[in-house]
Chains A and B, each alone.
Chain A
Amino acid sequence: MTVSTKVRPTRSNSRNSVVNFWQKHKDNILPPLFGIAGFLILWEIFSLFPGVRLPGPSSLWTDERTRTLLLYPFYDRGGLDKGLFWQTMASLGRVAQGYSLAALVGISMGILVGTKPLVNKALDPIFQFLRMVAPLAWVPIALVALQQNQPAAIFVIFITAIWPILINTAEGVRQIPQDYINVQRVLKLSKQKFFFKILLPSALPYIFTGLRIGIGLAWLAIIAAEIVMSGIVGIGFFIWDAYQQNYVSEIILAVIYIGAVGLILDRAIAYLQKLILPGE
């Protein structure tokens, strides 16, 4: 970290702190601002070319329908006609259910596979194969098997998010340092003590890596899944619906929501990780 030059104490304090903050952080604030502004300007110019159907970023404001969506995220006129906040929450609810299930099953299976080499040998080929199947490919299978939109969507989240959680947990369990295993052996620790005092804390950093990759994938998957499943409240179907009706600037607004929510989810898991593993 760079240390700013000390400002003389004769100046007023509040002014100093603002100046100090700017001095310290301007190298971190200015480049991304320029980057974003440059990107938006290029995009706007591109949209002005004749024959280009993609509206520029200014359309978020100039298009009346989109402006309504932008200004009133909480409106609810019943049915599928809801503000973007509610659309996002509906998708997030599905992600929460599918992801919790993935975390629960993924961590338990990961521990089983990590501790029992024989089980690992039996199941690893299946895991390696299934994790290569794209989320969208699961949608028809889920719809046929579960017959309803809602459980099918949750299943798609589950099956997408579980692999990194499972594989990282198993790896974390396999990577328990021999030193700690030796402590267990010489003290003849009970299975329960070994699990809670050695196995789980030792594998926790790996588990969190899996959880963090998993949440990103879960969010990617729900959008894809909702686009395919028609007639539900959710940001994915909102995009599909807007596309059908050629409201392109609405799609752009929804995409901004998706990016922001994904970022928040990732940060939230990172924060949780920091909270639980302070030393890492």
Chain B
Amino acid sequence: MQPVKTQILELTPQLNFAHNFLTLENVAKVYPTPKGSYTVLENVNLSVKEGEFICLIGHSGCGKTTLLNMVSGFTHPTTGSVSLQGKPIKEPGPDRMVVFQNYTLLPWLTVFDNIYLAVDAVHPNKLEAEKRAIVREHLALVGLSEAAEKKPPQISGGMKQRVSIARALAIRPQVLILDEPFGALDAITKEELQEELLNIWNEHRCTVLMITHDIDEALFLADRLVMMTNGPAATIGEIVTIPFPRPRDRDRIMEDPQYYDLRNYALDFLYNRFAHDDAA
């Protein structure tokens, strides 16, 4: 393994929450089980600035999804607090829209109607023509204008994920939460969608929290990479700042010597320092 270049690594947690947009403070999640309590997450501290792109990486079972679910409001921390703009998060809401792992499109509605349902729910008072225009705009954004009248079972996985992203963006969330959005896609579709997501994010600049298993994906997309230790009682092991200038170009980044240092550092973290315990 390469020696670590400390100047590009920023060791957090910084406990300066005052000016931050999204904060997790001393968060722990404990599930009661018949065999006693099971700690999923412990002592998690993270502060995210508005418009920041954060990727979370870690072995399966380390509580990444639990962490995101606390931001989206589907679960609550046992101790500690999660707050957005100073207000504690109590329940799910469209200001923190989720792109779910398995798309969660309604199969009986067309692509258009799936997005329209979300737009209509968030803007009940807008005119129908306005709402339809928003849907069309976001379908065009993900390049799916032609598939508007198709139903989800008729389109490919990549297209479904595009619809899911368009649905999420159409309601202009403050935080966009993506749980391994490209995990089930083939490599080429995956790269296309990564670039699309990045382009859209460049234009709209919402705050993004994204779980991934793919270090290259994280290095291409994220401002900061949050690396989790193994569960049970997982926590944030390290946060690496990814310094590449934006807009990013995949080929240029991959020629950057820093890319391999960062990549090796992350790999070392995942496969040596916190290698996956098979028993877990």
A201 to B118, CA, bound (A): 17
Whether A187 contacts B122 by the Cβ 8 Å rule is: yes
Bitwise interface map of A from 148 to 179 toward B, beta carbon under 8 Å scored 1, else 0: 00000000000000000000000000000001
Counting CB contacts under 8 A, is A183 at the interface? yes
Shortest distance from the beta carbon of B175 to any chain A beta carbon, whole Å: 11
Q: Are A189 and B100 in contact (CB under 8 A)?
A: no
- The one of B94, B108, B153 that contacts A201, using a Cβ cutoff of 8 Å: B108
Chain A's closest residue to B168 (CB) is A186
B93 to chain A, nearest CB (A): 6
CB-CB nearest in chain B for A187:
B121
With A179-B104, A182-B98, A201-B106 already in contact, the answer to whether A190 and B74 are too (CB < 8 A) is no
Tell me, in angstroms, the Cα distance from A188 to B74 when the chains sit together. 12
| Least distance between B91 CB and chain A CB atoms (Å) | 8
* Given A182-B74, A182-B98, A197-B109; A188-B93 close (CB under 8 Å): yes
* Given A179-B100, A193-B117, A279-B153, A186 contacting B92 (CB threshold 8 A): yes
Q: Within the complex, what minimum Cβ distance (angstroms) separates B275 from chain A?
A: 32
Q: In the complex, which residue of chain B has the Cβ closest to the Cβ of A186?
A: B92
Q: Which residues of B contact A180 (CB under 8 A)?
A: 104, 106
Give the residues in chain A near B96, CB-CB below 8 Å.
Answer: 186
Contacts of B102 in A (CB 8 A): 179
B47 is an interface residue with CB less than 8 A from chain A: no
Please determine whether A188 and B121 come into contact, CB atoms closer than 8 angstroms.
yes
Proximity string of chain B (69-103) to chain A, C-beta cutoff 8 Å, 1 when within and 0 when not: 00010100000000000000001111011101010
| Dominant secondary structure at the A interface | helix
Nearest CB on A from B74, distance (A): 7
Q: Provided the pairs A193-B117, A197-B117 are in contact, do residues A186 and B98 lie with their beta carbons within 8 angstroms?
A: yes
Taking chain B's interface residues, is the majority helix, strand, or loop, or is none over half, making it mixed?
Answer: loop
> Residue-by-residue, is A207-233 near B (CB-CB < 8 Å gives 1, otherwise 0)?
000000000000000000000000000
**B121: which A residues are within 8 A, CB to CB?**
187-190, 193
Q: Are A182 and B100 touching (Cβ within 8 A)? A: yes
Docked complex: A88-108 residues within 8 A CB-CB of B: none
Chain B residue numbers with a CB within 8 Å of A201 are 106, 108
Q: Are A186 and B93 in contact, CB atoms less than 8 angstroms apart?
A: yes
With A186-B93, A186-B98, A187-B118 as given contacts, are A279 and B104 in contact (CB-CB < 8 Å)?
A: no
Q: Is B61 part of the binding interface, using a Cβ–Cβ cutoff of 8 Å?
A: no
Q: Look across to chain A and name the residue whose beta carbon is closest to the beta carbon of B93.
A: A188
* Residue B107 CB within 8 A of the other chain: yes
Decide if B104 touches A187 in the complex (CB within 8 Å): no
Q: Which residues in B have their C-beta under 8 angstroms from that of A186? A: 72, 92-94, 96-98
A188 with B94, Cβ < 8 A, contacts A183-B104, A201-B106, A201-B108 known: yes
A187 to B120, CA, bound (A): 10
Residues of A contacting B171 in the complex (Cβ-Cβ under 8 angstroms): 187
A189 & B117 in contact (Cβ 8 Å cutoff): yes
Q: Cβ of A80 < 8 Å from any Cβ of B?
A: no
CA separation between A182 and B109, bound complex, in Å? Answer: 17
Residue of A187, A189, A201 with most chain B CB atoms under a 10 A cut-off: A187
Q: A65 an interface residue at 8 Å Cβ cutoff?
A: no
Q: Is the CB of A187 within 8 A of B117?
A: yes
Which residues of chain B come closer than 8 Å to A190, judged between CB atoms?
Answer: 121, 124
Q: Does A265 contact B (CB under 8 A)?
A: no
Chain B residue with Cβ nearest A197: B117
Cβ–Cβ < 8 Å partners of A70 in chain B: none
The residue of chain A having its C-beta at the shortest distance from the C-beta of B103 within the complex is: A179
Q: Flag if A279 contacts B106 (CB, 8 Å).
A: no
Question: How many angstroms from the CA of A185 to the CA of B96 in the assembled complex?
Answer: 11
How many whole Å from A118's CB to the nearest CB in chain B?
Answer: 22
Task: Name the interface residues of A31-82: CB closer than 8 Å to any CB of B.
Answer: none
A186 to B109, CA, bound (A): 18
Distance to closest chain B CB from A128 (angstroms): 29
Contact of B104 among A182, A189, A197 (CB under 8 A): A182
- The answer to whether B74 touches A197, judged by C-beta atoms less than 8 angstroms apart, is no
Contacts of B153 in A (CB 8 A): 279
Residue of A nearest to B122 (CB): A187
B81 CB to closest chain A CB (Å) equals: 20
The answer to the question of A142 belonging to the interface, with a C-beta cut-off of 8 Å to chain B, is: no
Please name the residue on chain A nearest to B96 by beta carbon: A186
For this complex, 19 residue pairs linking A to B, each with C-beta atoms less than 8 Å apart, are: A180-B104, A182-B74, A182-B92, A183-B106, A185-B91, A186-B72, A186-B93, A187-B117, A187-B118, A187-B122, A188-B121, A189-B117, A189-B121, A193-B120, A197-B117, A201-B108, A279-B107, A279-B108, A279-B153
13 more CB-based (< 8 A) A-B contacts, given A179-B100, A197-B106, A279-B107: A180-B104, A182-B98, A182-B104, A183-B106, A186-B92, A186-B94, A186-B96, A187-B117, A189-B121, A193-B121, A197-B109, A201-B106, A201-B108
Residues of B that sit less than 8 Å from A by CB: 72, 74, 91-94, 96-98, 100, 102, 104, 106-109, 117-118, 120-122, 124, 151, 153, 171
